[in-house]
Chains A and B, each alone.
Chain A
Amino acid sequence: MHALTGDSHAAGFYEPSDKQPGWWDIMIGPGKGMDTDRYFVICANVLGGCMGSTGPASVNPATGKPWGSAFPVVTIGDMVAAQKKLVEHLGITRLLSVIGGSVGGMQALEWAVRFPEMVASAVPLATTTKHSAQAIAFNEVARQAILADPAFCGGDYYESGIPAHGLAVARMIGHITYLSDEAMREKFDRRLQDRCDISFDFEADFQVESYLRYQGGKFVDRFDANSFLRMTRAADYFNLEKAWGNDSAVAAFTRATCPFLVVSYTSDWLYPTYQSKAMVQAMKKNGLDVSFVEIEASFGHDAFLLPNERMTKLLQGFLDRVHGSLHEEGGHAL
């Protein structure tokens, strides 16, 4: 399951000329955490995104124009329901594991609770059963940046030109939440960008400013503002406890049956460890088979995307066990 702005290109290169492999190439491939010599890996673009599955930039067959503002706000549940249709279309009745980080982790949790009979295990990484006020607050500021861009035109900008500046600022805010104080200090500190002294104007004096501007600018080329609004909304609205447990996490997980591997990262301030611990607690209270580890990492929320030898072994061991126990159950050729 990909995260907020990911896509179905999870691993490997599509074209020899590609500069970058898929977003989770470190974890997916022969001999990697998700060993493609042993397992078949599916990664689909989420509903409402802009990388393949239907989203606001797709053409509305009724009008022949992009949906734009007419495209509804979808939920994590909607995305998972769409993924289930794909999996069924592929003729698969049970998944060995549903694995995802961040918003992808929300989808993994939703899968385990919504379709327990189809999920043999779930691995939610750096995620939460519901956004904190702080996480919603960051998303709100990011959305406001887009909504306040004059080019936004209420969401129907596909002919007039995209709200590039608003979307870039939204991405800049996102990047702050994906890092951490420590990661920024290590990466940038107060170093200046291509200059010897501060400029006393509003150029990108500091490396961190330059980095954020670069990330923002790059994002505009590949992502749609309407999708960004809806993805962040879906993440804010996600509340597993409310949707499935009448506001109780313990009640929500009564539906789940599979083993879980929950992972958090010490410096993740977007989805801090206490949120992972709370879901682990609810799973334990339901007598579910749950493993949990908080990994020491200084890179903030993004840590789950970075090379980590420990994470590879962890996932291999977990999947191997689940795979073995399925064989004992005697049936599913997964």
Chain B
Amino acid sequence: MRFDLQVIASWIEPGSRVLDLGCGRGSLLGHLRDERQVRGTGIERDEDKVLTGIGRGLTVVHGDMNEEVRDYPDNAFDYVILSQALMQVFEAEALIKEMLRVGRRAVVSFPNFSHWRHRLQMLFKGRAPVSRELPYEWFDTPNIRVITLRDFKRFCEMLAIPIRKECAIRTHHHEESGKIVRFKPEIFATYGIYLLGQPGEKP
């Protein structure tokens, strides 16, 4: 399992109810079910991935996460996870608010746009960054949001959403190993992972 997912899994209390937005083939949900007795649901827009997920005994709904999340009642889940998908979400603020409506906690992870490699590409080549974490050119990228660790924290502050846990890591997409970055994460981390509480709640 991807290193960022391992970090997320370590944050989930055993026996809790989890909604995974953009669950893919369900590797995180499968892990949480087997290792942490989690009752999980995934939302995924790709038919093949949905079939794989249900085929391995997971609960998965085929559809668009922005729409599907709206049907769940308040507090239906303990955790709602959005892993490496925020940069593709059109209405990011609305989605994160929905996540915190249907879930007690939200977990969000995304690639750090202010990583030093990205900074250098901008500075010296004058080109939009292309990296292992963000491997697309400007004309074919599905990523419509540019997010840095600082920007995300500022965003949470603005909405009075407490960050209950955070973890900056260095890894790349398909690697199962990685390191937690403590020194200047906004420069050296490739991903940020955040555990969010309810707006107004004390951290």
- Quick check: is A60 within 8 A (CB to CB) of the other chain? no
Residue of A nearest to B102 (CB): A284
Tell whether A295 pairs with B61 under 8 Å between CB atoms, given A287-B73, A314-B55.
Answer: no
Q: When chains A and B are docked, how far (Å) is the Cα of A296 from the Cα of B47? A: 8
Are B54 and A314 in contact (CB-based, < 8 A)? yes
From A285, A287, A289, A317, name the one whose CB has the most chain B CB atoms within 10 angstroms.
A317
Q: When chains A and B are docked, how far (Å) is the Cα of A321 from the Cα of B55? A: 9
Chain B contacts for A280, CB-based, 8 A: 61, 71
Chain B contacts for A289, CB-based, 8 A: 39, 41, 59
Q: Which of A285, A295, A317, A318 contacts B71 (CB 8 A)?
A: A285
Are A293 and B57 in contact (CB-based, < 8 A)? no
Binary interface profile of A, 297-334, with partner B (CB < 8 Å = 1, else 0)?
00000000000001001101110110010000000000
Are A293 and B59 in contact (CB-based, < 8 A)? no
Are A293 and B54 in contact (CB-based, < 8 A)? yes
Chain B contacts for A321, CB-based, 8 A: 57-58
Chain B stretch 37-56: residues in CB contact (< 8 A) with chain A: 39, 41, 47, 50-51, 54-56
A/B pair count, beta carbons within 8 Å: 58
Are B56 and A317 in contact (CB-based, < 8 A)? yes
Q: When chains A and B are docked, how far (Å) is the Cα of A73 from the Cα of B145? A: 59
Q: When chains A and B are docked, how far (Å) is the Cα of A318 from the Cα of B62? A: 15
Chain B contacts for A314, CB-based, 8 A: 51, 54-55
- Quick check: is B162 within 8 A (CB to CB) of the other chain? no
- Quick check: is A292 within 8 A (CB to CB) of the other chain? yes
Are B62 and A292 in contact (CB-based, < 8 A)? yes
Chain A stretch 254-282: residues in CB contact (< 8 A) with chain B: 259, 261, 277, 280-281
Are B73 and A293 in contact (CB-based, < 8 A)? no
Chain A contacts for B61, CB-based, 8 A: 280, 284, 290-292
Q: When chains A and B are docked, how far (Å) is the Cα of A324 from the Cα of B73? A: 27
Are A293 and B62 in contact (CB-based, < 8 A)? yes
- Quick check: is B60 within 8 A (CB to CB) of the other chain? yes
Are A317 and B54 in contact (CB-based, < 8 A)? yes
CB distance from A281 to the nearest CB of B (A): 5
Q: When chains A and B are docked, how far (Å) is the Cα of A290 from the Cα of B68? A: 12
Chain B stretch 66-93: residues in CB contact (< 8 A) with chain A: 68, 71-73, 76
User: How many residues from A make CB contacts under 8 Å with B?
Assistant: 25
Tell whether A284 pairs with B56 under 8 Å between CB atoms, given A291-B61, A293-B51, A294-B62.
Answer: no
Chain A contacts for B47, CB-based, 8 A: 293-296
Q: When chains A and B are docked, how far (Å) is the Cα of A259 from the Cα of B39? A: 12
Q: When chains A and B are docked, how far (Å) is the Cα of A289 from the Cα of B60? A: 9
Tell whether A318 pairs with B57 under 8 Å between CB atoms, given A293-B51, A293-B62.
Answer: yes
Q: When chains A and B are docked, how far (Å) is the Cα of A287 from the Cα of B72? A: 7
Are B51 and A287 in contact (CB-based, < 8 A)? no
Q: When chains A and B are docked, how far (Å) is the Cα of A294 from the Cα of B73? A: 23
Chain A contacts for B71, CB-based, 8 A: 280-281, 284-285
Binary interface profile of A, 178-218, with partner B (CB < 8 Å = 1, else 0)?
00000000000000000000000000000000000000000
Are B57 and A324 in contact (CB-based, < 8 A)? yes
Chain B contacts for A259, CB-based, 8 A: 59
From A291, A318, A324, name the one whose CB has the most chain B CB atoms within 10 angstroms.
A291
Residue of A nearest to B41 (CB): A289
Q: Which of B39, B54, B72, B73 contacts A318 (CB 8 A)?
A: B54
Tell whether A320 pairs with B57 under 8 Å between CB atoms, given A295-B47, A296-B47, A310-B51.
Answer: yes
Chain A contacts for B51, CB-based, 8 A: 293, 295, 310, 313-314
Are B59 and A316 in contact (CB-based, < 8 A)? no
Q: When chains A and B are docked, how far (Å) is the Cα of A294 from the Cα of B58? A: 16
Q: When chains A and B are docked, how far (Å) is the Cα of A281 from the Cα of B43? A: 13
**16 intermolecular pairs with C-beta atoms under 8 Å apart:** A284-B68, A284-B71, A285-B72, A289-B41, A289-B59, A290-B59, A290-B61, A291-B54, A291-B59, A292-B62, A293-B60, A314-B54, A314-B55, A316-B55, A317-B54, A318-B57
A-B CB proximity, top 8 nearest = A321-B57, A317-B55, A284-B71, A313-B55, A293-B62, A293-B50, A281-B71, A292-B61
Given A287-B73, A291-B60, A318-B57: 8 more A-B contacts, CB < 8 Å: A281-B71, A284-B61, A293-B47, A294-B47, A295-B51, A317-B55, A318-B54, A321-B57
